[in-house]
């Protein structure tokens, strides 16, 4: 894991970073990634990962019901991948969910996004359902779930 990693709640000054990284990370799967992220940021809680004095990743979660939260977006700068930042963001979200008394974290990701699928599986998520043509009416997705506290990321 990145030794100088800090995670904090999004501030409005972080929005340029979030929207820029979202455009890079999600443009293949979303025709309007910036507009989508603006909606997600307004409706949920966004966590920003910082390495030194630079933001390197983010994750956005929304409450689904009294027992679960939806991880609607997670992205890490391309040159910072493989350093444990995604894993650290997932662990932070899980600890936050555990403290809030939530039972599970849900997400969906593109079936073709093998690095994301590998990360989620390594962190204890399990495949719940395949969703044909979920993204842009052309890319299949995987719905995944993790019981909070079952194996910390």
Over the stretch 56-83, which tens digit does the pLDDT of each residue have?
999 999 998 889 999 999 999 999 999 9
Give residue 1's pLDDT.
Answer: 44
Sequence length of the chain is: 153
Order of strands, sheet of 54-65, starting from the edge strand that comes earlier in the sequence = 5-9, 45-51, 54-65, 68-76, 104-110, 139-147, 126-135
CB of 31 within 8 A of CB of 22?
Answer: no
- Its pTM surpasses 0.85: yes
Domains of the chain: 5-147 (3.40.630.30)
> What distance in Å separates the CA atoms of residue 92 and residue 82, rounded to the nearest whole number?
17
Q: What is the pLDDT of residues 1-58, one digit of tens each?
A: 445 899 999 999 999 999 999 999 887 878 888 888 898 899 999 999 999 999 999 9
């Amino acid at each position: 894991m990145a030794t100088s990693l800090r995670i904090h709640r999004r501030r409005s000054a972080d929005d340029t970073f979030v929207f820029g990284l979202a455009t890079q990370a999600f443009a293949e799967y979303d025709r309007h990634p910036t507009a989508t992220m603006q909606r997600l940021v307004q409706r949920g809680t966004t966590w920003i990962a910082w390495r030194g004095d630079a933001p390197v990743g983010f994750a956005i979660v929304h409450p689904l019901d009294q027992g679960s939260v939806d991880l609607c977006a997670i992205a890490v700068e391309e040159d910072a991948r493989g350093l444990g930042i995604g894993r650290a963001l997932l662990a932070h979200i899980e600890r936050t969910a555990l403290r809030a008394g939530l039972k599970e974290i849900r997400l969906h990701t593109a079936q073709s996004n093998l690095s994301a699928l590998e990360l989620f599986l390594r962190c204890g998520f399990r495949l719940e359902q395949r969703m044909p043509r979920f993204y842009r009416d052309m890319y299949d997705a995987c719905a995944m779930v993790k019981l909070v506290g079952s194996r910390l990321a």
